[in-house]
Amino acid sequence: MDKSWMVEDRHTEKYINGVKGFIQFAFSHSAKGNTILCPCKKCLNCSWLEASHVLEHLVCEGFVNGYRRWEYHGEASSSLESGRDAHVQQFDEVEENDDLEEDCDELAGMMRDMRHDFGDLSDVEDEGDCREPTNESDPFKQLVGLATLVGVVTSGEYGCPKCHLLTCSRWLTNGKKTCYMDHRRFLVRNHRFRTIDKAFFDGNVESRTAPEPLTGEEVDALTRNMETVFGKDPTGKQTIRKRKRGDPPQIFKRRSIWFRLPYWKDLLQPHNIDAMHIEKNVCDNIVNTLLGINGKTKDNTNSRRDLELFNIRTDLHPVPVGKDTFDLPPASYSMSPELKRLFCQVLKGAMFPHGYASDIRKNVHVKEKKIAGLKSHDCHVLLQQLFPLAVRKTLPEGVSAALIRVSRFFKKIYAPVIRISDMEKLEEEIAETLSILETIFLPSFFDMMVHLMVHLPLQVRLGGPVKYSNMFPIERFLCTLKGYVRTKSHPEGSIAEGYIFYECLNFCARYFERCETRISRLVRNDDPEPMSSSMPFFNGGGRYLAGKYTITLDRNAWLQAHRYVLFNYDNITPYLSKHLEYLSSTGQRNALQIDKIHHDEFHEWLRLHVAHLVDSGEKISEEIQTLAKGPLFVARTYSSYTINGYKFHTKSYDEGRPTQSSGVALVSKLSSSSNESRTYYGVITQILELDYDNKGNVVLFKCEWFDNRVQDKWVKVDKFGITHVNRKHLIHTGHKSSDAPFILASQATQVYYVEDPLAPDWLAVRQATNQRDLYDMFGMGDENSEQADGPTGHNLDPIETISIDLKDIPKTRTDIDGVLVSAKENPKKKNGKGRRVKRGGSHIREMKALKKAAGKPKKKRALEVAIPESTRVLRSQSVMHESDNEEDADNEQELEENEELGLDDQQKKKKDGRKRTRMHTVYDRGNQPPVPVSFNEKGQPNGDNASEFSNFIATLVKTHIPLGHEDWRLVPVEKKNALLTTLRKYYVVDDKLKDYVMGTSHKKWRDFKADLKKKFFKPEKTDEEILTLRVEDNRVSYDDCVWLIKFWRSEEAEKRSEQGKKNRSSQKVLHTSGSKSHARVAAEMHKEKGYAPRRDEVFVRTHISKRDETTMTAETSKVIKDIDTAIEEHPELLEKSIQQGDILSHVLGKERNGYVRCVGLGPTAGSLGIPGAQKLKSTKLQMAELEAEKAWRTNEALMDHMDYFKEDTKAQMDALMAEMAEMRSMLSQSIAGNKNFMHTSEIQPEASVGEYSTADQSIHDVDSIAQLIRKKKEAAQRLNNEAELQKRKEAELLHKKKEEALMQKNNEQDMQKKREIESKKKQEDLMQKKKEQDMQKKREADLKKKKEATVTQKNHQKGNEVILFNVYRDHTTPVAKATILATDRKKIVGGRELGTECCEVVVNYIIKRDAILPRPIGDVTTMGQAQGRTIAWLYKHLEVDKSKMKQASPPQEE
């Protein structure tokens, strides 16, 4: 029977006629009534259908793959197939006689039970067809190991299987391993790295050539005479044979069994180097070294010591700091803790499209500055996609370029289309890249996996694309087989049983009609093939996945969508040309004006033009007529849609999901008359399906497009070829009718965006994976075609190689500090728990002996910083803030110190929970103005310094507030005011924040007492034993210790403890926000979302773990589900406030007094005005509050009246004083006139009587004026007396109240003293004994200081090399090495005399660049600015370098 028609196109007449002939044949041989089995791709010969349905399925879907012999439809077959047909017939008979649904239910139950035992086996793929091996590759190459099966030496001096005896290796004496370098020999002969740039390497000219791999015939000849013994030694001994001195090297352990195959020696590529494991190991090496992860980094003390042995890279040699401590200078790839956090933040913010990769954010720990738990595919995505984004922000440009070249190397290796010319260029490029890396990283970085990168391009040239030879499918299948193991004592049997069970399920699944199986279910991004139609444009493919709604379009959106459909219709070109000709004929000459009119009016012109042609009888295709009429205004929208192998989501649908599937890119022409194109990047906001008169549908994506109108302004490409877009600048938003926000769904290319932590408005564009389940079967042989990595072919990730000049790569970093390490601890490599020995038997015996002798494992020692024995005088307090109550460093500082040291776990500090917080960052700004604290309308701090503000309050509470009180209200107000005063020296605290400060202080005070009790108090201990907490925690006074012990033993304390335990046990809904307050979380959500979050949103955010998106308890999960249910059932609650009863109140019920859920500390239900939350007050209290309010208002009015009275009295007094001054001048004039008159009367006694009367009148006026003045004075004195009387009354009243308060306070103090007298008497002997011990220690310390001072004076001589230690904070931390220039106390340095405390030094080598100078010189305030300068340094904080100290001579007297 001729079946050639089965390979024809399904829409041809030949194929349709062939299908009809097949149906006739099937009905004549295997029909059941009027139905036959449908052999289409979906039915899979499992469904009985009528002839018309079978015809439709075979034309739309096609035959199932490989169904060339119609065994299910009566075609003759072999005996095996006949048996299978009999089985099918028997199954059909059962189907006719029994109830199929009951059998399916029973079988489904059996499958569920078996899946419970064996796990879900539905994802295991079928076995492929076995094929004969070719000359290029072999099916076994993915399953064998070179060292295990082939016998190739893969480690040691000749460990490279490609370089064989010509392997360039070096043994690292301190690192105890082999490194593989000298990659310059793989470069071309005239490359500058071989000769000109030799100084950047080891200084030698490289004249060697690259080694040639051994051929199969050469390997056959080398191993032909080797004796190979298979199996294990029957005695059970493990013998390790070492090559003796003088013996020739061996690169093969035994002869490969595959040489028994006659064609094996002729294969060009008999075995593959697995690119997957190479990529993972290279990624781990780079990430661990950049982040300095302890135990995994390739940069450690042993690596630096090996540099000294090789005498290369002298800038990175360890610098001795004292006797047993070294400083490791920062390499060009080193990063500070801040840069490490930035590196992790870039990776933490990455979200991939659906199905692209796993969520690696859970593996990135920003606070700990490390990445852990990455799988092979995670490293694959990280290295190729995210790594370039992270290194360009944290490393120097030359180092970043070199690492980005490594990233692009693997991206080119994994390309789906491989060209020989590209691989030849890649061979040269990777050799150059590895040579550049040799100038950056240490020799320990170059292990075998890094070296094998140089051989991958040749392997790809011979074996084809990497995806056909890597280990990803093998590893997945091995994981599946591992999942079959249920009995660990017999894993082989478990795997066999599980595999057989899977095969049985796979066979049975072919006969299930109405249940979904692995065979019949759709693939992840299934894109059904379009059905044949007279209007193929409307069969664009794709299917919706979620969020189907029906909407009515407005005129603007309808016009924009319809216009875009018309302009992107393939057969519309003749009509476009006609319309342009029409516009040109109307007199329009400006091309831009023609394009604008063409864009705005073409849809209407087309509708009229097509209608005219149809009326005139011209034949127009139905598709053109439908498009010209336009779509309906009623359309459908979706939230998720899959097409072209991509799964797209809208922007709103992506919110709250760990994936990002809303990014799109499109290449579009600038205008219809131009051939110039431009790439647009955007985010999908709406997925719209237009309905064209119920005859066809078109799916469009409405997007927010980023502005790219100006080149390199809002869409730009950096120097590494990475495209960036600005999210704040958008175009084609859809507000104008001329905008074009839509694109066809079939045109979209998926991209995703990664946020830049340093510039949040800018997003880096990364291209998504290739389309899933779609394969490019055409154009693969075009050697001249350009391979495009993105929608534009160049912008997303260019193919061009980044050129690097070795001069641009710094030898060391000058902007960060090195790492201090101790020379005492030099851990050696161990094999498991026992030491490496020569003989296997003794190795086992020694391990057993060690276990027996060790007993219980010892606890790890605390870290002892290896500082040389000091002869200097150390102060116990800081210079900037001396205090007896300074606290230890917090966890964050300790963590950074441990990570920077890079020591082993045995040397780290032992952490018993959270340590004390010293808050040095706050104390150090004591001379600066107070820092403002941002807070919300409820008076809660919510800014970046909110956590610091709260922690500083806790520190002040523990040092300012006494603990000897049962209740916070009994604490003296003076202590609280003192705390507030101290706080205001460093922060701006107004009246709105005052309530928060007092509430936080109360909580911290209670927590501190609870922590002390938990740490020190045990009922079985005596009071003397518990009193040792005064020694261990000097923040607690002796009186407070005594009071606390007495209170903890009282019945009241026991009752409170039981009640507290009961309350804590009832708390089942636990939050996960840590030390971050709810107010701060709400502020961050407000910034993210752009609106104030609801309480239910804050609840979900603070009760879900950030690491794995899970809840802490089942009750929390239930509450979150109830919240989602309430939102769906009662959406009107979303608009209600707390007072009106919001979502959270509906789910959790009424708020309790004193606390409001998800609001934070401070506000209460009563203060927020929640109905029913206000407490009822007694009538007496209400009347007292009313009287107090009236008295307060009366007092305010009286004070205002007194102020007015004082001002009026002052004005009257000023007027009287002015009037008195005027009267006095008049009086003096009158007296002077009278004297003149009397003198005249003596000379002229004949003066007239009128003149005497005038003088009498003047005297009378003076008397009246004096009398008036006296009256005014009396009135003023009377007013003053009244004011003084009023003040005296108020003072007496205030004094009376103070006396009453003082009497009450004295009574309380007297009672307190009486209670403490007995306790103090018991402790007198103990304290007396302790004082004697303290005095003895003090005398010994004074004697030691005198001796140290004497030694210090002798050692501090001019010319001595010294080590400078930190003056502030930790005084044991070295900050620099220097040389003493002068010790003359009268010498001026930095504008001041040295004095007796300082000497003049010149800084030679910097260890801590941010260390503060004790005496700044102008703008030079830190050690990083003092390189090579002379500065003044305190004798107390420097130490002579004993290894370089000059011979001491008697001190000279000045």
Q: Judge whether residue 265 has pLDDT over 50.
A: yes
- Looking at residue 1021, its pLDDT comes to 78
More confident residue, 1082 or 1412: 1412
- β-bridge partners, 1392: 1389
Interatomic CA distance for residues 566 and 698, integer angstroms: 11
Tally Cβ neighbours within 10 Å of residue 1231.
Answer: 13
Overall average pLDDT of the 301-311 stretch: 91
Q: Judge whether residue 964 has pLDDT over 70.
A: yes
Tally Cβ neighbours within 10 Å of residue 1333.
Answer: 10
The predicted-structure confidence for 133-156, as pLDDT tens digits, reads as follows 333 333 333 333 566 667 788 888
- Looking at residue 671, its pLDDT comes to 59
pLDDT-derived band of residue 439, with 50, 70 and 90 as boundaries? very high
Residue found under tokens 């600038």: 670
Farthest-apart Cα atoms in the chain, separation = 179
| DSSP state, residue 210 | P
* Contact (CB, 8 A) for 1436 and 873: yes
Q: 1122: which 2 tokens?
A: 């109830």
Looking at every residue in the chain, the average pLDDT score rounds to 76
User: Which segment, 106-120, 189-203, 1434-1448, is predicted with the most confidence on average?
Assistant: 189-203
Overall average pLDDT of the 900-914 stretch: 41
- Looking at residue 1023, its pLDDT comes to 76
Q: What percent of the chain has pLDDT over 90?
A: 19
Overall average pLDDT of the 885-910 stretch: 37
Q: Judge whether residue 1294 has pLDDT over 50.
A: yes
Interatomic CA distance for residues 1142 and 1134, integer angstroms: 7
Rg (CA), the chain: 45
Q: Which residues contact 216 (CB under 8 A, 6 or more apart)?
A: 264, 265, 266, 267, 268, 270
- Looking at residue 1264, its pLDDT comes to 67
Q: What share of the chain is helix, strand, coil (3-state, %, to 5)?
A: 45, 10, 40
More confident residue, 398 or 1019: 398
Overall average pLDDT of the 1110-1130 stretch: 77
User: Which segment, 67-76, 392-401, 1043-1052, 1139-1148, is predicted with the most confidence on average?
Assistant: 392-401
* Contact (CB, 8 A) for 725 and 763: yes
- Looking at residue 500, its pLDDT comes to 94
H-type helices in 1356-1391, by residue range?
A: none
More confident residue, 484 or 835: 484
- Looking at residue 951, its pLDDT comes to 85
3-state secondary structure at position 523: coil
Residue found under tokens 């909407």: 551
More confident residue, 1445 or 794: 1445
Q: Which residues contact 1046 (CB under 8 A, 6 or more apart)?
A: 1315, 1319
- In order of 810, 1200, 1295, 1386, the CA distances from 1193 in angstroms are 74, 11, 21, 67
The predicted-structure confidence for 749-808, as pLDDT tens digits, reads as follows 999 999 988 888 899 999 876 666 555 544 444 433 333 444 433 334 555 678 888 888
Determine the residue type at 984: R
- Residue 643, H or E segment: strand 640-643
The predicted-structure confidence for 834-871, as pLDDT tens digits, reads as follows 344 333 444 444 444 434 444 444 443 333 333 333 33
* Contact (CB, 8 A) for 1440 and 1350: no
Q: Judge whether residue 1412 has pLDDT over 50.
A: yes
Q: 683: which 2 tokens?
A: 């985010």
Among 105-109, 260-264, 930-934, 1394-1398, the range scoring the smallest mean pLDDT is 105-109
Backbone phi, then psi, for 664, in 5-degree steps?
-135, 160
Q: What percent of the chain has pLDDT over 70?
A: 75
Query: Would you put residue 225 in left (φ > 0), alpha (ψ -120 to 50) or beta?
Result: alpha
Of 1238, 1270, 1272, the residue nearest 1255 (C-alpha):
1238
- Looking at residue 1440, its pLDDT comes to 85
Overall average pLDDT of the 1253-1277 stretch: 63
- Residue 546, H or E segment: strand 543-546
- Looking at residue 1444, its pLDDT comes to 62
Backbone phi, then psi, for 699, in 5-degree steps?
-100, 130
pLDDT-derived band of residue 1339, with 50, 70 and 90 as boundaries? confident
pLDDT-derived band of residue 1359, with 50, 70 and 90 as boundaries? confident
- Looking at residue 41, its pLDDT comes to 79
- Looking at residue 915, its pLDDT comes to 53
Overall average pLDDT of the 866-893 stretch: 33
The predicted-structure confidence for 1374-1396, as pLDDT tens digits, reads as follows 999 999 998 888 888 888 888 88
Overall average pLDDT of the 1151-1155 stretch: 67
- CA dihedral defined by 641, 643, 648, 649, rounded to 10 degrees? -10
Overall average pLDDT of the 1414-1418 stretch: 87
| Buried b / exposed e along 1116-1141 (16+ C-beta atoms within 10 A) | beebbeebeebbeeeeebeeeebeee
* Contact (CB, 8 A) for 610 and 572: no
Cα angle: 773, vertex 777, 779; to 5 degrees: 135
pLDDT-derived band of residue 937, with 50, 70 and 90 as boundaries? confident
More confident residue, 199 or 789: 199
More confident residue, 79 or 1142: 1142
The predicted-structure confidence for 1041-1093, as pLDDT tens digits, reads as follows 888 888 888 888 888 888 777 777 666 566 656 667 777 787 778 777 777 78
Q: Which residues contact 1000 (CB under 8 A, 6 or more apart)?
A: 950, 953, 954, 1161
Q: Which residues contact 566 (CB under 8 A, 6 or more apart)?
A: 572, 602, 603, 606, 627
Overall average pLDDT of the 310-314 stretch: 89
Interatomic CA distance for residues 1207 and 1012, integer angstroms: 58
* Contact (CB, 8 A) for 758 and 579: no
Measured in residues, the chain has a length of 1454
- Looking at residue 557, its pLDDT comes to 92
Interatomic CA distance for residues 73 and 48, integer angstroms: 12
Overall average pLDDT of the 614-618 stretch: 87
Q: Judge whether residue 131 has pLDDT over 60.
A: no
| DSSP state, residue 1100 | H
- Looking at residue 100, its pLDDT comes to 41
- Looking at residue 1293, its pLDDT comes to 76
- Looking at residue 467, its pLDDT comes to 85
The predicted-structure confidence for 556-585, as pLDDT tens digits, reads as follows 999 999 999 998 888 888 888 888 888 888
- Looking at residue 860, its pLDDT comes to 38
Of 301, 300, 302, 299, the residue nearest 286 (C-alpha):
299
- Looking at residue 440, its pLDDT comes to 93
Among 596-600, 732-736, 1172-1176, the range scoring the smallest mean pLDDT is 1172-1176
Overall average pLDDT of the 210-233 stretch: 82
* Contact (CB, 8 A) for 1354 and 1440: no
| Buried b / exposed e along 843-869 (16+ C-beta atoms within 10 A) | beeebeeeeeeeeeeeeeeebeebbbe
- Looking at residue 95, its pLDDT comes to 37
Q: Judge whether residue 410 has pLDDT over 90.
A: yes
Residue found under tokens 């205090």: 883
pLDDT-derived band of residue 1203, with 50, 70 and 90 as boundaries? confident
Interatomic CA distance for residues 923 and 885, integer angstroms: 13
The predicted-structure confidence for 696-728, as pLDDT tens digits, reads as follows 889 999 999 999 888 888 899 888 889 999 998
Interatomic CA distance for residues 936 and 955, integer angstroms: 24
Q: 379: which 2 tokens?
A: 């490293």
- Looking at residue 1286, its pLDDT comes to 76
- Looking at residue 173, its pLDDT comes to 92
Strands 646-649 and 640-643: antiparallel
User: What's the per-residue H, E or C state across 746-800?
Assistant: HHCEEEEEEEECCEEEEEEEEECCCCCCCCCCCCCCCCCCCCCCCCCCCCCCCCC
- Looking at residue 1355, its pLDDT comes to 52
The predicted-structure confidence for 541-553, as pLDDT tens digits, reads as follows 788 888 889 999 9
User: Which segment, 11-25, 390-404, 568-582, 900-914, is predicted with the most confidence on average?
Assistant: 390-404
Among 314-328, 550-564, 1168-1182, the range scoring the smallest mean pLDDT is 1168-1182
